[in-house]
Structure 1
Amino acid sequence: MITRLAVSGYRSLRDLRLSLGRLNVVTGANGSGKSSLYRALRLLADVAQGRVVQSLAEEGGIQSTLWAGPESFSRGMKSGEVPVQGTVRRNPVALKLGFAGDDYGYAIDLGLGPSASLFALDPDIKAEAMWTGEWLGRSNVFAERRGPGVRIRDGDGAWRQASTTLAWFDSMMTHCADPRDGLDLLLMRDRMRNWRFYDHLRTDRDAPARRQQVGTYTPVLASDGADLASAIITVRQTGDREGLAAAIDDAFPGATVDIDSRDGWFELEMRQHGLLRPLRTAELSDGTLRYLLLVAALMSPRPPELMVLNEPETSLHPDLLGPLARLIALAAERSQVVVVSHAAALVSALEDAGARRIGLEKSFGETTAGDDDPPKWEWPKR
């Protein structure tokens, strides 16, 4: 489980450090930085996929994603005695991402590339580190990268040079993970690749979930929900069949779902009390379809270590927020869950279920976590 999350220099997250629990709900006013925090988590996952540079490019390049304010705020700036203005920089421009748990921690430092390069909008990976425990220290680091050089500590505590020519766009997480000499890196990479994000479960009239799909064993719902029918029948056959029925009945009393299978093509049907025939997915309301998609995602027979939901309340009637909170709390028994939401009713229900509330605020353009004391954190040196 991730117990500490740190982001520095990314959009409004100038220097944000958070403590996380098993179930977390991130909330705050519009523009407080909720989406930036969600994107930062996705960027961390993209490191393990080998596409963090491409992901930043899709956001407009590293220069458009960097913190746009001064490196630090003086007392006079905060009191209003002097205007907010740039100061002499003490540290290089950087976008830093990191997390840690009781077992391992990882951090990456991304900086500006050569201005004369045709790829000037791409970031350079300047430094990386992986260590044991919740914060980086001299004695607990066992893999580190500075520029093109990577070294890994062996079982006897001796350092081995793993690379001297690692490209600026390649992470040691993907290019130095080896089952013999880089096993811990390999295991961490696979764990991060297992993280799951849901922020684009489509429910519009042309949504993939509203169409028939070829049926196949589906323990993990697709990010757009295209394989909903297959995911539901997989939960029913290999997962928590009774829990699935209870989650649907909790939201829609007396309702049941079934799968119409013809020549290997699946389509979900929903039977509701009082109706003479089942409703197909093309006939369901956006809110009903979204809830069923969330059921399929949260009841996965192959739960991830970390699941992140971005504004899952979209399109849902207020009456469905209570059942959704109970569904999320149930999923948190098998996975660490982070929910980003501005729905007060959902936030309150999750807090009642034991969620750690992370209230984001913005001051002078910078996102802060309210009155929460930031946990201890150290970044790797370039």
Structure 2
Amino acid sequence: MLTTLAIANYRSLRELIVPLGALNVVTGPNGSGKSNLYRALRLLALTARGGVIPSLAREGGLQSTLWAGPERFSRAVAAGEYAVQGTVRKDPVSLRLGFAGETFGYAIDLGLPLPSSSQFSLDPAIKRECIWSGPVLRPSALLVDRQGPMIRIRDTSGDWTTLAQPVASFDSMMTEYADPRSAPEMIAVREQIRSWRFYDHFRTDEHASARQVQIGTHSPVLADDGGNLAAALQTIREIGDGDALDAAIGDAFAGARVEIVNHEGRFEVALRQEGLLRPLRGAELSDGTLRYLLLAAALLSPRPPGLLVLDEPETSLHPDLLPSLARLIARASGHSQVIVVSHAARLVAALERESASQSIVLERRLGATGFAEPEALDVPPWRWPPRVGQS
């Protein structure tokens, strides 16, 4: 389980060290930075799939995603005595992302590329990447260290070996080096990150893939777009916890039961409800009902992930469904670490009543996202790996 999420200089997240538990509820008013935290976490997950640089480029490049305020606030500015003013930059341009748990920690530092004739001006450069043992970075705990193009690996005797093959500035070491003998820690961290799942804004319009008839194959994991919903629900019924699925549907819609219609190997979701002579097919379901089925398929996965992140799962749901959703999320937190980003007061309140939950309330002051109730959180220690001889 992750114990710490660290973000620096990403949009409104000037410097945010977030403590994490089994069930984390991120909330706050509009504009407080909830979406930025979600996007930063998703960006961090892309490091293990080679997608961090393309994702930043799609956002307009590093300059468009960096913290837009001053490097530091003076005490007078922080106290509101003076207006915010620009200053001469002292530190190198840097966007940093990291996490830590009891076993391993990881951090990546992205900056501006060196001047060149390249046309890829939106590509930031990876300046440093580190993997260490334990929750806090210490020189003695460092296991894998990438500085610029070079990667060093510490062996079991404590000696360092520098890899002969340099890494391009746009490639993460997580995707470019994979030797289970010399760097098992890198494999472990990479697979840990790749197991994370993110679900946000499922399509529920009339053309949504979740409403369509789809080829049915075993699907222990719901696709990002929910396109394999019918197969995922049938998989839960056959090799997962079918009773939990029935209970979740009945909890939300009294007397209802989900059914999967098999059209010679092509599956379609349907919902049988009290008082109706036939089940309602996917095309007939309301947006809220379909979204609840999608969330149930994600949260009852027979192959639960290490980390499950939901962004505004309350979208399209009637308020009366939120307690049922909260119970589903709480159940999932018994198998996966869960982060829920939400501004729905009823859902937040229901989740906060769970014994394993932790509420992370964000606010924005002087443009920077911080904790509205810092005294309520036990913020863990964190150290960023410094740049060595690099701009």
* TM-score interval (norm. to shorter): over 0.9
State the percentage of identical aligned residues: 60
Letter in 1 for 2:299: L
- Matches for 1:34-73 after TM superposition, within 5 Å: 34-73=34-73
1:248-287 aligned within 5 A:
248-287=249-288
Gaps spanning 5+ residues in structure 2: where? Answer: none
Specify which of 344, 360, 375 is matched with residue 380 of structure 2.
375
Matches within 5 A, 1:240-255: 240-255=241-256
Shift of 1:173: 1.3
Give the match for residue 27 of structure 1: 27
1:75 aligns to what? 75
Task: Describe the superposition over 1:110-161 as per-residue Cα deviations: whole angstroms up to 9, x where unpaired.
Answer: 0011355422221100001100111100110111111111101011111111
Distance between the aligned counterparts of 2:264 and 2:293, measured in 1? 24
CA deviations 1:10-64 (Å, max 9, x no partner) are 0000000010000001001111000000011101110000110001111111110
Moved more, 157-166 or 106-115: 157-166
Contact between 1:307 and 1:337, CA under 8 Å: does it hold in 2?
yes
Q: What residue number does 2:333 align with?
A: 332
The answer (yes or no) to whether the contact 2:310–2:340 under 8 Å persists in 1 is yes
Which blocks of at least 5 consecutive residues in structure 1 are unaligned? Answer: none
Query: Which residue of structure 2 aligns with residue 152 of structure 1?
Result: 153
Residues 284-330 of structure 1, C-alpha deviation per residue, up to 9 Å, x if partnerless?
Answer: 00000000000000000000000000000000000000000000000
* Alignment match, 1:101: 101
Q: How much has 1:74 moved relative to structure 2? A: 0.4
* CA distance, structure 1, for counterparts of residue 288 and residue 178 of structure 2: 43
- What are the Cα deviations for residues 137-189 of structure 1, in whole angstroms up to 9, with x where unaligned? 01101111111111010111111112452110111111122111111101111
Does the 8 A contact of 1:162 with 1:176 survive in 2? no
Counterpart Cα distance in 1 of 2:71 and 2:245: 50
Deviates more, 1:4-13 or 1:258-267: 258-267
CA contact (8 A) 2:201 2:315 kept: no
Q: What do residues 212-237 of structure 1 show as CA deviations (whole Å, max 9, x unaligned)?
A: 00111000001111110000000000
Secondary structure in 2 aligned to 1:315?
coil
Whole-Å Cα distance in 2 between the matches of residues 27 and 252 of structure 1? 27
User: Secondary structure at 2:175's aligned position in 1?
Assistant: helix
Return the alpha-carbon distance in structure 1 between the equivalents of residues 300 and 80 of structure 2: 51
User: Aligned ranges for residues 344-359 of structure 1 at < 5 Å?
Assistant: 344-354=345-355, 355-359=357-361
Per the alignment, residue 8 of structure 1 pairs with 8
Partners of 2:158 and 2:373 in 1: how far apart?
40
Matched, 1:202 2:207: no
**Matches of 1:103 and 1:86, distance apart in 2:** 41
Write out per-residue CA displacement over residues 40-97 of structure 1, whole angstroms, 9 at most, x where no aligned residue. 1101110000110001111111110000000010011122332201223231110000
Q: Which residue of 2 aligns with 1:225?
A: 226
AA at the equivalent of 2:105: G
CA contact (8 A) 1:313 1:343 kept: yes
CA distance in 1, matches of 2:373, 2:300: 34
> In structure 1, how many angstroms separate the alpha carbons of the residues matched to 2:163 and 2:363?
42
Deviation at 1:374, TM superposition (A): 3.3
Letter in 2 for 1:356: Q
Local SS of the residue matching 1:139: helix
- In 2, Cα distance between the equivalents of 1:146 and 1:140? 16
Aligned-partner SS, 1:15: strand
Name the Cα RMSD after superposition: 1.0
* CA distance, structure 2, for counterparts of residue 249 and residue 181 of structure 1: 51
**How many corresponding residue pairs?**
382
Q: 1 CA distance for matches of 2:228 and 2:294? A: 9
- For 1:339 and 1:96, the matched residues in 2 are separated by 22
Provide the C-alpha distance between the structure 2 equivalents of 1:104 and 1:177, rounded to a whole number of angstroms: 17
1:143 aligns with 2:144: yes
TM-score of the pair, normalised by structure 1:
0.98
Partner of 1:90: 90
SS in 1 for 2:170: coil
Partner SS state of residue 130, structure 1: strand
Contact 2:201–2:313 (CA under 8 A) maintained in structure 1: no
> Residue type of the partner of 2:87?
T
**Equivalent-residue separation in structure 2 for 1:163 and 1:218 (angstroms):** 41
